[in-house]
Structure formats: structure tokens, C-alpha cells
Amino acid sequence: MTLLWGNIILLAHSALGAEFYRRILLANPAVEGLALKIQMTVNGQSREADVEPRLLLVHFLRENLGLTGTKIGCDTSQCGSCVVRMNGATVKSCTCLAAQADGAEITTIEGLSAGGELHAVQEAFWNKHGLQCGYCTAGMIMTAVELLERNPNPTPEEVRQGLEGNICRCTGYHNIVQAVLAAAEANSATSSG
Amino acid sequence: MTTRIFGSGIRRREDPRLITGGATYTDDVTLPGMVHAAILRSPHAHARITSVDTAAAGAAPGVIAVYTGADVEGALAPIPCAWIPPESDVKPVAHPAVAKDVVRYQGDAVAVVVAETRYQAEDALELIEVGYEPLPAVVNPVAAMADGAPQLHEDAPGNQAFHWVATGGDPDAAFAEADVVVSDTIVQQRLVPNAMEPRSALANWLGSMGELTIWSTSQNPHICRFLTSLITGVPEHKIRIIATEVGGGFGSKIPVYADEMIAAFCAMRLGRPVKWTETRSENFLATIHGRDHVERVEMAATRDGKITGVRSVVHAGMGAYLSTAAPGVPTILHGLMYSGPYALTGTRADIYGVFTNATPVDAYRGAGRPEATFLLERLVDLVAAELDLDPVELRRRNLIPKFDSGYDVVPGLTYDSGDYEGALDMALEHVGYAGLREEQASARERGQYVGIGVSCYCEICGLGPSQVAGAVGFGGGLWESAVVRFHPSGKVNAYVGVSPHGQGEETTFAQVVSDTLGVPVEDVDIVHGDTGNTPMGWGTYGSRTTAVGAGALFLGLNKIKDKARALAAHLLEAAEADIEYADGQFFVRGAPDQSKSIQEIALMANVAWNMPEGMEPGLEASAFYDPPNFVYPFGAHVAVVDVDPDNGHIVLRRYVAVDDCGPQINPMIVEGQVHGGVVQGAGQALWEGAVYDDNGQLLTGSMQDYALPKAHMVPDIETLSSETPSPHNPLGVKGIGETGTIASTVTIYNAVIDALKPLGVTRLEMPLTPERVWQAIHQQS
């Protein structure tokens, strides 16, 4: 029940959540045991499942789909280890219900280099030693990818601000910032070349 | 000429799996038939348990079993403390894995539910009815030793967990003869390590064979196996601990905790694999904390700026029980470092370990040395202020002069090598110290407050000589071992007892193999973290992995080289004394075309068609390294801060770190260790602190309330280094994992005090929040 009520409180903060609350929870007071059919495209593959309404997206990805590259680092939406992309936007998948992703396009870290070739941001994290234990890395990379799409040539300060929702305990952020800047540079070299 | 692989900042070999989501951490493992455990924790800091009713929980959907303290008692031995410093009257109170009669901190385990899913297990926790009779609680270590304080353990009167005193030289004479004595009370606040990966355990019991396998978030799987055997009663050779991918530790994954043992207990009872993974909230409550000292400290000096003595009385909060290594931290790793990089004539550390109704404390990055460095560098600044000397000048007058093989300090240690003033010079030159002082003066005229903090440090790591470990009450050895195995194709696996979890030794150790035997680095893989396929070792902590573990590896490589030389001589029909080695080739002196590559020798050794008389087949070596001494890295750090007196806000503008860990195997990784360490230490200075209310309720119980450093809060870290080899280490290397944290807290603290000097502020308590700074400024005016 902790999980359930925690999720409802979180949901109430989002428009999507309010809609979900109206449609599902109010209509079905006895939500426990209720299964919702959801469908989403995860890393280019269509996935369908019957899930509990309260199932978190991160648990759906990790446990139902076996995509364990997305991590859980906190339970209060601070650390960003669970960041994935939903319809292009970054979301913290521990603060999002699987049901909220119904119909969405989801990209996880596993989908970033699906063709076998590393994404420029992954390559830059490797080159610049932007990770140590690797636990925050999936979330960091997913956040950085989106950051660079919004702002292809960020200043170091903009990178630091842009990573404000992701916590790393190992690197002191120095090399993560260097990695994001290097990825930006590599991207601009590619697009101008 | 090719670049030598030793010393080259090659990118890490562990990264491809980590940047693609392909790594397998404990919580990522799923076994057939696996079920999930969730642990009910005490909401009270101190209470008697009057009843536990599990009926409703047991009947809840998906629930397989509910166990309480009564079920676990007898099946699991109490969680032991494994570091008992001698002559300190340690009270190793029993720590039941699940509390049955009394809970002693918020977070103490009370019951466990096992269910088909994690959601069901957590739901059922809420259905367990526990009757508590609250008892008075105490969380401050000084208050806990005061008359009339609530008592935690019957056999620890006055809540005294231990009392350890170390006197070096003649401190009383130093103080009696001093012209100047400065003193302070320093609060080393409680910190929450917060490795990004929460603790997790997946226990699998193969009853038919009596075999227990635990995937565990451990920094030291072999110690974990040893203690798991003692706690569960399963013989050590029937236990396998797997900790191959661990998401950070910082000391918090050294201890063997109740929770992992509870998972093992459940698996053994149910015959099904049981996974338990803590939430971050549980991590705050039930994973060890660090620091928690209240220190009264003083330093003696002469009028001409010669510091002579240091004394302390420290109350070190231990929390409710003694965690695995806890008593060694404020004693051996702290009180023996009171001479720091200075030549003193007398030191005394008078340390009380104190039970409190709080989460147990244990080693957290730096573990004792940040506290020792803090008090020294704080007191040195106070002496400088008292004598109206520049803090740099005072340090110069007292630093131990450069030495390259052994220097005895009064606490009884022999430092290996050091060039402390060289590091200081390098830091000051890089930061532009003279210019900064000018800038500071002109800024003050404009009403702006710039602060410059300087610290010098040396630290003890590379733990350590096993004989010393025994003498100081550490319940194990501190040597390391390695097995190096050449396969027929010339590829190499090295199996090591250390257990890196982010520090990059899969890369640096491969560099050592490649450098020593001339195999391409791509042809080497390092195997670690699994007691099922690695030799005995004592684990990764205390900045020992490279200093000790690579020492063992290097000795093993040299054994391989000796055997390869002998086999080459045989194959080349030459005398062994005539065989030379260079770059992976063994050749006849004066006839370099007569050679065998290490790969050819590996093949010939493995097929063994033509071995010399009496030589065993295979190209494999096992080696043990028990270091003759600790290693003592050192350095000098400088921080520059801007403090806004209107709102107390501090901006850490620059941070310069000069560190000397001897020869660097991979400078990129060394720098990364310093970056992370500095920011962790900055966290203690500026933002972090575990706060309890008077009833022992943790008020900072999540990342919402406990302020961890984030990217926008810190600057780039400017790293430089000098290279002073350790004379006794086979590779000359020292540790680098903790130096950043050891130096940075006090460096930043000193910078803030320096900034506030014109406003009359001379001391503050950490973390240096804007509110505290603002209050201090306004109390002065």
C-alpha cells in the first residue's frame, strides 16, 4: 500500500496523473488485483502486458521486460538513475506508472546503441572517464542525450545546470561535464563535416 | 618508441558494459523461483517490543512466510564486530539480526516478509502489528556518556563502547613548555555514505548439497564469506559470495549486515532463492553512517611558530551496535595520524567509543584520516592566526623535510616517503597564492569576502602488514593474493582477491600485466569479486587495492616470467643465464633473432610437449603479498571560496589538489579518484549531515532532506601531482582512493573561516549552511 498511495500522491502532481486518477482509480476503488492492459514501444519493439495499475514504469522495464540497464537509486525522485526517454522527453521512471506510458515510445539505455554502435554520448563518457561504478551512468547518459538535443552547444555551466536532476557519488561530476562537452563537440564536428 | 602502458591514461575496459546497460549488479539478477523479502524496521529509536502479531501479514496475498526475532534467534548468530583494538575495554554487545526484545535505533529490523513479488512483500509489512513500549533515547555521543543518560546495553555501563588512549612522544611536556596553546571543539557530523547502488542480496540455498550462494553488494566478498559462515553456520567452503558488479561503496559495503543474513536465513528456510534490496529510505536508516565525532582538541606551539604537540578527547558515536570495523576507525586510523605531515614531539588521542540510539557508524571514505587531518589543519590555522603568521608560512616551518625511505613520527608510525613542501609549492604556484591574497585584500575593501583555504596532509593506507593488523585487533589479515593464468592462445586471466567496485582495477591491473609481460592489454582480463573463482583476499577499502592487490599480482607475474625464461632457455637450447627479456620476447643475449614470445612460451607450456626435466606443465602462478609497511600518500590542497555576507551563501570557486600516490598506473583514473574524493569531502564541509531529533528520529532520511553535492554546486577540480615512490612497495605505488576526501573538508572549511575573518567569525559547525554562516556573521555584529 505504501507504493500505491505514494504513487497517487505523485500522480496528483501531473496532468497525466490527474487524468489517470479520474479514469482508473475513481472508477475502480478496488484497484488491487486489477490488471490494466498496456502497450508501449520500448527501444523500437512493441510490448504489451497486463499490469497492476500501481506498477512503476521502472519496475515494468526491469522486471517485466528484463531491461535492467535502468537503475533505481532512490525512492524520492532525486537521483536520476532511472531516467529514460518517453516520447522524446526525459522522465524519471521511478516516478511514473507503467500505465502512464501506455501508448508511448520509450527509449532506455539499452536502446541507445541498439545498432551495435555507441551513441556519441556513450562514447564520450567512455573517452573522458565519465563514470566509475557505473550505477548512475544510464540515467546520466539519457539525460545528457536529451540535454544536447535541446542545446547542442552548451557551456560548462549549462551542462552542470542540466544535470541537476542526476546524482553521481563517484566522479565529482568533473569528467561527466567533460564528457557531455566532448559529445557536443563530436556532434558539431559530425554535422559540420 | 612505443608509449609504456604503465602510466598511460587508457580508457577503462569495464566501461562498455556500464555505458550500454549490460552490466549485472545484484538487483539485476533473477533466478527461477525467486521470491522477495522486505524487512519491517523499528520506527522507534529505543523501545521494548511487547508483542508482534504477524497473522494478517501471513495471510496477505502472495505472502509465503513471515519471520520475527523469535524465529531467527538461534538460527543466525549475532552480527559480529571484527575489529577489537586491544587494551581499550571494547564491549562487543550482541547484535541480533532481527530484534526480539529491544530495538535500539530507528531502522533496527523487527520482522521480515517473504512474498512472490516485492509489492506484495511491502504491502504485507504494513499488516504486521508490533507493540512497542518506547524507552528514552540519546543520540549525541557526549550526552550519551553523561550521568543519567538512557542506557542502551546492560553490559556497557555509561554507554561506553570502548576507551582507547594512544600517547606518542611527550605531549604533556610539549604543552607545558608551549608559548601558545590553541584549542577548539570540532563536531565531525554524521554522514550518510549514499553509494548510488542500494545494498542488495540474492540468496540461493541448494539444500541437497548444503551450498549457500549469495549475490551481495560487498566490497570484500571473502570477508563476507568468512563472517556469513560464522553467522549462518554454513561451512565456509560451502558458501559462495558473488560481488562482481557493485555500484559504489565508500566503506558502506565493507560491513556484513543483518539484512543479507536475513535473506540467507529465508532462503535456507524456504528452499527458494530470496532477493532483498533496500530502498534508499532503508539505506539512510540501516546502512552504516560515517564520522560522528565530538572532539575537544588542542595544539601546542612555540612563539616562533614551531608546533610541538596535539591532544584530543574524542567522543565517537558508534550508533546502537558495533559495526564490522567500527572501533578501528576513530582509534587506529585516526589517533595514530596526529602527527600528520609535521614533526611533532608529543601527541595524545583519548578516544571514547559511545553507544547511541542511532544507525551504527563504520568506515566511510577516509575513515578516521579525514577527522585527523581536519583537526590538525584547523589547529594549524588557529596557531597561525594567534601568531599573526600566514597559514602557509606556519606550515612551511613545520613540514617534515623531504625523505625517501622512512621517517619515524611520535605516534609510532614510520612514514615511507614524502615531499610535503614540494606538493605545497606546486599547489600554491598553480593557484597563484600571492595574487589571490592581493585579490582578497582588494575584495575586502569592496565589501566582498573571498576566502583561501590551504591544507597539507599525509595519510595512512594500503592496509597493511598482517602482523600489525593482528596487533591492533583487526579480525583478519591484510595481505592480498593473485593467480595469473596464461591460456594456450597466449591470452591471460588474472584472478584477484581484491574487489573493485568503480575504481577501475580491471584496467589498471591489466596494464600491470601488459607492462610486466608484454602481452597486449586487450589480451588480459582481470577476474574479481566472486569467491567461487578468485583466491583469498581481504577486499577493497582503505586505499589498498592497488598498493596491496597489485603488489600480489606483480609478484605472480614475476614468477611467470621466471618460469617462462627457464622454458625459453630450454626451447632455445641456451643457458638460462643467457636469456634476456624485453617487450614480451625472451631472447638469447647477443642473438635477438633467437627468441620466443611470451605467447609461444604459453602455448608450449600448456601443451607440454617439450618441457625441461622436472618443470610442471602450464604457465600459471599464484602469489601472496603481505606488505612490510603501510603506504603514506600526501599532498597539498587549496580552496577558494566567495562568501556572501548578506545571505551566508558560499560559492566554491576553485579547488586545486596536488596529490602524490607514487607512480600512477593510469593517470586518468587517478584524477577521477581525486575528483570524486574532493567533492565527497566538500559535501561534508558544505551540505551533508545526518540530523536526528532528540528522540532519535532521523530527520534527514532521504535524498530530499540530505543534501548531496550535485553538478551545479561544484567547480571543476584542478588536479596536479608529484611522484614520490614508496620504497617498500613492489611497484612503488601508494593509494589514491581517499586522499581527496581526507584533504578537502578542512581545506574548504579553512577557506570559509578565512573569508569571514574580517567579520570576526572564527568557528562554525559543519555543514556550513548559509543559515549558519549568516547567523555567525550576525552574532558578531
pLDDT of residue B781: 63
The yes-or-no verdict on residue B363 having pLDDT over 90 is yes
Chain A residues within an 8 Å CB radius of B61: 33
Could you give the percent of chain A with pLDDT greater than 90? 78
Q: Which residues of B27-38 are buried (b: 16+ CB within 10 A; e: fewer)?
A: bbbeeeebbbbb
DSSP B289: B
User: Between chains, do B280 and A161 touch, taking CB under 8 Å as contact?
Assistant: no
Phi, psi of B592 (to 5 degrees): -60, -15
User: Between chains, do B196 and A79 touch, taking CB under 8 Å as contact?
Assistant: yes
What is the C-alpha to C-alpha distance for residues B416 and B727, in angstroms, rounded to an integer? 7
Quick count: other Cβ atoms within 10 Å of Cβ B7?
Answer: 14
What is the ipTM, given to two decimal places? 0.98
Chain A residues within an 8 Å CB radius of B675: 171-175
Q: Which CATH class is domain A2-111?
A: alpha beta
Q: Are B7 and B665 in contact (CB under 8 A)?
A: yes
> So what's the architecture of A120-192 in CATH?
Orthogonal Bundle (1.10)
Q: Are B456 and B427 in contact (CB under 8 A)?
A: no
In the beta sheet, which residues pair with residue B53? B129
Q: Is the peptide bond before B737 cis (omega within 30 degrees of 0)?
A: no
Could you give the percent of chain B with pLDDT greater than 70? 100
Q: Are B651 and B493 in contact (CB under 8 A)?
A: no
What is the C-alpha to C-alpha distance for residues B507 and B665, in angstroms, rounded to an integer? 9
Render pLDDT for B153-179 as a digit per residue (tens, 0 to 9): 999 999 999 999 999 999 999 999 999
Decide if A81 touches B, using CB distance below 8 A: yes
CB–CB contacts below 8 A, A to B: 184
Render pLDDT for B705-724 as a digit per residue (tens, 0 to 9): 999 999 999 999 999 999 99
**Helices in B89-218 by DSSP H: which ranges?**
118-125, 141-144, 171-176
**Among A64, A80, A53, A183, CA closest to A126:** A183
pLDDT of residue A32: 55
User: Between chains, do B126 and A112 touch, taking CB under 8 Å as contact?
Assistant: no
Share in percent of chain B as helix, strand, coil (round to 5): 30, 25, 40
DSSP-assigned states of every residue in B452-504 = EEEEEEE--BS---HHHHHHTTBSS---EEEEEEE-TTS-EEEEES---SSS-
User: Between chains, do B30 and A134 touch, taking CB under 8 Å as contact?
Assistant: no
Q: How far is A23 from chain B (nearest CA, A)?
A: 23
Quote the cell numbers at residue B509.
591491473
What is the C-alpha to C-alpha distance for residues B408 and A17, in angstroms, rounded to an integer? 67
Domains A2-111 and A120-192 alike in fold: no
Q: Are B81 and B324 in contact (CB under 8 A)?
A: yes
User: In angstroms, what CA-CA distances link B352 with B337, B349, B761?
Assistant: 17, 10, 30
Average pLDDT over residues B231-237: 98
The yes-or-no verdict on residue B603 having pLDDT over 50 is yes
What is the C-alpha to C-alpha distance for residues B359 and B352, in angstroms, rounded to an integer? 18
Chain A residues within an 8 Å CB radius of B27: 68, 72
> How much is the pTM?
0.96
pLDDT band (50, 70, 90) for residue A193: low
In the beta sheet, which residues pair with residue B300? B181, B309
User: Between chains, do A109 and B247 touch, taking CB under 8 Å as contact?
Assistant: no
Residue type (1 letter), A103: G
DSSP A78: -
List the strands of the sheet with B591-597, edge to edge.
Answer: B579-582, B585-588, B591-597
A contact residues 141-180, partner B, Cβ 8 Å cutoff:
141, 156-157, 159-161, 163-164, 166-177
Domain boundaries along the sequence of chain A: 2-111, 120-192
The yes-or-no verdict on residue B773 having pLDDT over 90 is yes
Render pLDDT for A80-123 as a digit per residue (tens, 0 to 9): 999 999 999 999 999 999 999 999 999 999 999 978 899 999 99
**Strand B35-41 relative to strand B274-277, pairing:** parallel
What is the C-alpha to C-alpha distance for residues B53 and B68, in angstroms, rounded to an integer? 9
Render pLDDT for B538-564 as a digit per residue (tens, 0 to 9): 999 999 999 999 999 999 999 999 999
Element (H, E) at A109: helix A109-112
Phi, psi of B425 (to 5 degrees): -60, -45
DSSP-assigned states of every residue in B587-631 = EETTEEEEEEEHHHHHHHHHH-SSPPTTPPSSEEEEEEE--SS-B
Mapping DSSP to helix (H, G, I), strand (E, B) and coil, where does residue B214 land? Answer: strand
Rounded to 5°, the CA angle B705-B709-B712 comes to 115
Render pLDDT for B585-601 as a digit per residue (tens, 0 to 9): 999 999 999 999 999 99
pLDDT band (50, 70, 90) for residue A143: very high
